[in-house]
């Protein structure tokens, strides 16, 4: 069976943010159904929603996988919880780690617990910029590329590429 390509957005704004991102990549890669194949540079970004909180470090992780989208969601949730994110976290609030499935091949998933492509990615520069560092996939719902989405993105918050780089765990 041919492996699938998926992109996972990662962000942290509490504690040792870089260490949380590094550990997330390591744990994703350690999962038997996932292999980290590429990682974007790390970006600093202003918080959206609840703005009175520390800035985020964000990145995108590309994986090769035999897992289904729902299995990836479960894996990401388990990693978030293991690294200290409370199950009852505040939406848009501070967090040690946030992992979101952005794309899974060209698949469209719309279930109560998972929507792929991520339903808000086109409104978030902190997702589009690091994703574009890895690939320029066509959004299967909006029928436009990530580059084109970035060009029309309404997000005017500060998102800055850093010199921070994580080593690929594979």
Q: Which residues contact 35 (CB under 8 A, 6 or more apart)?
A: 3, 29, 63, 64, 65, 170
Alpha helix positions (H), 12-145 = 17-30, 69-82, 125-134
**Token pair 């580059």 is at which residue?**
147
Whether pLDDT at 85 is above 90? no
98 flagged as catalytic:
yes
**Candidates 22, 27, 85, 124; catalytic one:** 85
For residue 120, name the pLDDT band (cuts at 50, 70, 90).
Answer: very high
For residue 102, name the pLDDT band (cuts at 50, 70, 90).
Answer: very high
Report whether 72 contacts 32 (CB < 8 A). Answer: no
74 flagged as catalytic:
no
**Candidates 98, 105, 124, 155; catalytic one:** 98
Ordered structural domains, the chain, with CATH: 4-161 (3.30.70.560)
* Dist. CA 136–CA 21, nearest whole Å: 22
161 flagged as catalytic:
no
Model pTM greater than 0.75? yes
């Amino acid at each position: 069976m041919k492996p699938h390509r998926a992109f996972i957005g990662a962000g942290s704004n509490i504690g040792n943010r870089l260490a949380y991102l590094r550990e997330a990549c390591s744990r994703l890669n350690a999962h038997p159904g996932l292999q980290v194949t590429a990682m974007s540079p790390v970006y600093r970004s202003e918080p959206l929603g609840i703005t009175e909180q520390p800035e985020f470090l964000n990145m995108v992780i590309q994986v090769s996988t035999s897992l289904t989208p729902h299995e990836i969601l479960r894996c990401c949730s388990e990693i978030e919880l293991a690294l200290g994110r409370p199950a009852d976290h505040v939406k848009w609030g501070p967090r040690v780690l946030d992992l979101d499935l952005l794309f899974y091949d060209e698949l469209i998933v719309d279930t109560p617990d998972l929507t792929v492509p991520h339903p808000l990615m086109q409104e978030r520069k902190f997702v589009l910029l690091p994703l574009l560092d890895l690939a320029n996939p066509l959004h299967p719902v909006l029928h436009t590329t990530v580059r084109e989405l970035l060009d029309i993105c309404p997000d005017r918050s500060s998102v800055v590429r850093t010199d921070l780089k994580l080593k690929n765990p594979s």
